[in-house]
Amino acid sequence: MVVVTGQNKVSGNPDDAMSSSDAEDDFQEPATPTATQAGQALPLLPQQFPEVVPLNVGGMYFTTRLSTLRRYEDTMLAAMFSGRHYIPTDAEGRYFIDRDGTYFGDILNFLRSGDLPSRERVRAVYKEAQYYSIGPLLDNLEDIQPLKGEKVRQAFLGLMPYYKDHLERIVEIAKLRAMQRKARFAKLKVCVFKEEMPITPYECPHFNSLRFERSESETKLFEHHCEVDVSFGPWEAVADVYDLLHCIVTDLSDRGITVDHQCIGVCDKHLINHYYCKRPIYEFKITWW
C-alpha cells in the first residue's frame, strides 16, 4: 500500500516504498479514543468538590459542607466525597445519591452536631446509618429506645433457634387454610410452653423436685408432641409464656398480619400414671383482609 500526503508523494518503487503498517505509524492521524482507551491512556484526575456541597438524594435537596460529609473517615459518605470516586450530578449541578432522602436530614444532623432522631424515627434512621456505614451513629442509636429494648428481646428469642421458622409456619398454615376455605380468616392451634417437662402441680405436688431425678428411660415416658399446628418451647429464662406470646404477635403485626389469640385450655394428654401434659394451648386467628 502506498500512502500519499498533501506535500509528499511516495514512489511506487518497491525498494523505496514503506509497508502499510510503517506508513500508518508515521502518517496516520490518531483516531478519537474510546472511553476505555481514554481510561487506560489518561487516568481520571481526582474529582474536586466545592466547600459547600449541593446534594440531590433521591429527589430531595440538601446543602452541607464538604467537611460534614467527611466527618468520619470510615463511612460511605466520606469515601464517596473523598475524590477517589466519581459522583454524578443532576441537571442543576447537584451531586446525586440514588437513595431515598426521607431520613437523610437526620444523617446530616448527626454529622453536623451529633443530634439524634426522635424515637419514632430511630428504626428508619438506623437502617440509613447502616447503608452509609456510619458506625458512631449506629452505636448511639443502639443505646436508646426502641433499639436498646430490641437487643434485649432478641437475646431472649435467641434461646429458641427455630423461632423464625415457626413464625413462617404460622403464616403458611393460616394462608393455606384461608385459601382452601375461601375465607377472610384462618384459625390454628399454637402451644407455648416454658418448661421442658409437663407441669402437673395438682396431680403431683412434688413433680418439680422429682423432675431432675428421673433416669433417661423414665424421661422418655414424658416425651410427646401436643396435637397443635405449631409449638414454641421450652426455654430457660425469666421471661415467661406471655412474654413470648407478645413477641409472636408483635413480629406478625410488623409484617402487616392481623392476629388475635386466646388460651383455649391445656394439652391434657395422659402420659403415665397420674401425669398429664399441662402445656397451654392458644388459638390464633389470622385475618387476611
Examine the domain organization and report whether 137 and 59 are in the same domain. yes
Examine the domain organization and report whether 179 and 265 are in the same domain. yes
Alpha helices in the chain (DSSP H): 20-27, 35-41, 66-69, 76-80, 104-113, 122-131, 135-142, 147-157, 163-181, 207-210, 216-220, 241-254
Strand, helix or coil for residue 81: coil
Look up the domain containing 57 and give its range. 52-144
Q: Which pLDDT score, from 0 to 100, does residue 176 have?
A: 97
Mean model confidence pLDDT for the chain: 82
Query: Which three three-digit cell numbers place residue 44?
Result: 481520571
Number of domains in the chain: 2
Any idea what the CATH number is for the domain that residue 96 is in?
Answer: 3.30.710.10
Examine the domain organization and report whether 239 and 172 are in the same domain. yes
Q: Which pLDDT score, from 0 to 100, does residue 274 have?
A: 74
CA distances from 237 to 139, 153, 272, 280 (A): 27, 12, 28, 18
User: Which helix (H) or strand (E) element contains residue 54?
Assistant: strand 52-57
Instruction: Report yes or no on 82 lying in a domain.
Output: yes
Q: Which pLDDT score, from 0 to 100, does residue 213 have?
A: 52
Between 259 and 44, the more confident residue is 259
Question: How confident is the model over 76-89, as a mean pLDDT?
Answer: 94
Give this prediction's pTM.
0.67
DSSP annotation of 89 reads B
Between 1 and 227, the more confident residue is 227
Over 50: is that where the pLDDT of 36 sits?
Answer: no
Instruction: Report yes or no on 261 lying in a domain.
Output: yes
Examine the domain organization and report whether 177 and 244 are in the same domain. yes
Q: Is residue 101 within 8 Å of residue 63, measured between CB atoms?
A: no
Q: Is residue 107 within 8 Å of residue 127, measured between CB atoms?
A: no
